[in-house]
Amino acid sequence: MKDNLIRLENISMSYGEKQVLKSINLDVRDKEFITFLGPSGCGKTTTLRIIGGFEHQTSGNVYFDGQLINDVPPHKRQLNTVFQKYALFTHLNVYDNIAFGLRISKTPEHEIKERVQKMLSMVNLSGYEKRAVVSLSGGEQQRIAIARALVNHPRVLLLDEPLGALDLKLRKEMQTELKAIQQALGITFIFVTHDQEEALTMSDTVVVMKGGKIQQIGTPIGIYNEPVNAFVADFIGESNIIDGIMNEDYVCTFGGKTFDCTDCGFAKNEPVDVVIRPEDFRMVMPREEIICGIVENIVFKGVHYEMHVKSGDITYLVHSTIPEVVGTFVGLEVEPFDIHIMKKSKPEEN
């Protein structure tokens, strides 16, 4: 494959007894924005650090541009990193921080000057050259860290939860800005986050990880609409995950009612997880064939209302733009293609 820039092959990683990565296989295409998404401890940062060369995998191979780079030390890899807490050098001013990498590669001073200026204007911090890094705000330090990495024209930029320390508004701004920078420069970005919204907003490809394993690789839309298992469905946005039975192809039962659905290929009467997004329920008049229940509570969320509807033992999460009075008996309608059937995950994976 020509446009594969990085390939991870059977990467496993253990710290003593503890196995943090279990046979990771991944291809990263050139110029794509790929995000490792997962809860803390899922191995996403470890994977990033293995690509950066800061950790050495217990087994498996890392290829860069077709070359095996297992034994290439980090300072010789053609990639740069933006660290979680920025890791700026406090004894240097802004200019010298950004120039650090260029000075090591013995770039002529006049070229350094030009490139540093260009980077500063790209991150909207022109005129900050002489400032001490400790005098900058979190957002500004973040931009300097990005400039310091990108000034070296890396083929790949690794970003380890770089927006975690910023407040919500600044974070949204930086998301847009980072995406714009990535597209303008045409560099591969490998981004690590635990924030699903961040992943969906910025990425071309999302890699969902859990317990040292890759759960799903796909586009943001693909992962949101077609999660492969209950974990992914729950992690990417909110979901109702209900125990159900697959009666036969295209027919399933949950909540005591039988529904048409669009999935097939399960054993007859196989127990499954039924996943339904809260926004895919429509509140209608109660009737026999659909799930009916009582509205237990309602919370205003800005764009929509969030309601819990209790039907028998199951409480459904429903998002609707139309509020319903608590205590009302309602029906919940759902389209066949919004019912997602997942194989029950094996207990050892949970």
Q: Which residues bind another protein (CB under 8 A)?
A: 52, 54, 73-76, 80-81, 83-92, 100-101, 104-105, 134-135, 148-149, 152
Q: What is the DSSP letter of 292?
A: E
Each residue of 252-287: b (16+ CB within 10 Å) or e? bebbeeebebebeebeeebebbbbbbbbbbbbeeee
* Closest to 80 (Cα-Cα) out of 105, 120, 55, 53: 53
Q: Which amino acid is at 315?
A: T
CB of 145 to another protein, least distance (A): 8
130 within 8 A of 97, measured Cβ to Cβ: no
Least distance (Å) between residue 98 CB and another protein: 10
The least CB distance from residue 138 to another protein, in Å, is 13
Closer residue to another protein (CB): 72 or 314: 72
Q: Structure tokens of 60?
A: 């498996």
321 in the Ramachandran plot: left (φ > 0), alpha (ψ -120 to 50) or beta?
Answer: alpha
CA distance 259 to 77: 54
Q: Which one, 115 or 148, has the nearer CB to another protein?
A: 148
Q: How many whole angstroms separate alpha carbon 131 and alpha carbon 122?
A: 17
Distance CA 341, CA 287 (A): 24
Round to whole Å and give the CA distance between 218 and 140. 32
Q: How far is the CB of 193 from another protein (least distance, A)?
A: 17
Minimum CB–partner distance for residue 86 and another protein (Å): 7
Phi and psi dihedrals of 289, rounded to 5?
A: -75, -15
Q: Based on CB atoms, which residue is closest to another protein, 107 or 258?
A: 107
- In whole angstroms, the minimum distance from the beta carbon of 53 to another protein comes to 8
Min dist. Cβ of residue 214 to another protein (A): 25
Q: Judged by CB, which is closer to another protein: 62, or 208?
A: 62
| Helix, strand, or coil (residue 146) | helix
User: In whole angstroms, how close is the CB of 75 to another protein at the nearest point?
Assistant: 5
DSSP per-residue string spanning 109-124: HHHHHHHHHHHHHHTT
CA distance 248 to 265: 9
Instruction: Return the HEC string of 158-190.
Output: EEECCCCCCCHHHHHHHHHHHHHHHHHHCCEEE
Please, are residues 319 and 279 in contact by the beta-carbon 8 Å criterion? Answer: yes
**43 vs 162, beta carbon nearer another protein:** 162
Residue 59 to residue 161: CA distance in whole angstroms: 25
Nearer of residues 133 and 199 to another protein, judged by Cβ:
133
H or E element, residue 17: none
Which residue number, 99 or 233, has a Cβ lying nearer to another protein? 99
Q: Based on CB atoms, which residue is closest to another protein, 35 or 152?
A: 152
Residue 56 CB, shortest distance to another protein, in Å, is: 14
